[in-house]
Structure formats: structure tokens, C-alpha cells
Amino acid sequence: MTLTERVKSDLATAMKAGDKERVGTLRLVLSELQKAAKEGSDDELAVMRRERKRRQEAARAFREGGREDLAGAEESESALIETYLPAELSDEELSALVDDAVASTGASSPKDMGAVMKAVMAQVGGRADGRRVSERVKERLTA
């Protein structure tokens, strides 16, 4: 079952249950998945990660603007989208990937960050946020 099919199925279930918030979020996500498929993109996980990131950024902006109610709504949408994504890498797993990438690229200074980032992001496969990876790589190369 593809991710789109799973979202469709969950949307039908939420509609039958009368869960308006869940229905709204799933409709938006399904729309984005279908739009990406029409444009020729078959990376459903990338769409889900992008949508989760949009919700997290919106929540941050609402919180900075003093709108806790809207920030909470965006965070609940983000949490729902996250249930469709693979589990995040633990700090230990991410550190091990960074160490391996540093060793394989021969990186020794922050100047080599681009090469290390490329190697790590290829292995991460969307299971860690780029910002988190970047922080870990920078930490490792400046230590």
C-alpha cells in the first residue's frame, strides 16, 4: 500500500468518525501528494517531510507572534503528518553516521563541511532534519 493510499484510507476513516481536524489535515496532505504525483514526483516521503516542515515553521512564526492557539493547531497537524514518516535517527545513530562520513571523506576542518553533509544526507534517507545533521557535522569538524 502506497503512502497516498494509506492517507486516503485514513481520511475515509476520519470522515466516518467525524474528526474534523484530522480530516482537514489529511485532505491537505492528500492534495499535496496528488499534486506531486501529477508533476511526476514519486517521492511521497519528501512531500510528507516538506509538509511537516511547513507546519513546524508556521507554528514557530505563530508562537513568535503571540498566537499560541494557532501554533498549537499547526503543531498537531505536524504531529499527525509525522506518523506517516519513518522514525527519526537517534543522536547516537546520527553521530555514528557523521563519524563514518568524516572518516570516508577525509574531512579535517569546517571547510570540508559540504562534502561531509552530502555523504551524511545520502545515508540519512530523510530520517533526520538537515538542520540537525548540519549542527552535528559542524560540532564534529570544529572539535
pLDDT reading at 18 higher than 90: yes
> Residues with Cβ < 8 Å from 42, sequence gap 6 or more?
none
Amino acid, single-letter form, for residue 107: A
Whole-prediction pTM value? Answer: 0.73
State the pLDDT at residue 78: 92
Measured CA to CA, the distance from residue 133 to residue 124 in angstroms comes to 9
- HSE, CB side, 13 Å, CA atoms: give it for residue 92: 0
pLDDT reading at 68 higher than 80: yes
State the pLDDT at residue 57: 93
State the pLDDT at residue 69: 92
Please report which confidence band the pLDDT of residue 119 belongs to, taking 50, 70 and 90 as the band edges: confident
User: What integer is the mean pLDDT of 54-81?
Assistant: 93
Measured CA to CA, the distance from residue 74 to residue 140 in angstroms comes to 33
107 within 8 A of 117, measured Cβ to Cβ:
no
**Mean pLDDT (the chain, rounded):** 87
118 within 8 A of 37, measured Cβ to Cβ:
no
Length of the chain: 143
> Residues with Cβ < 8 Å from 27, sequence gap 6 or more?
11
pLDDT reading at 92 higher than 90: no
Domains along the sequence of the chain with CATH: 3-82 (1.10.1510.10), 91-142 (1.10.10.410)
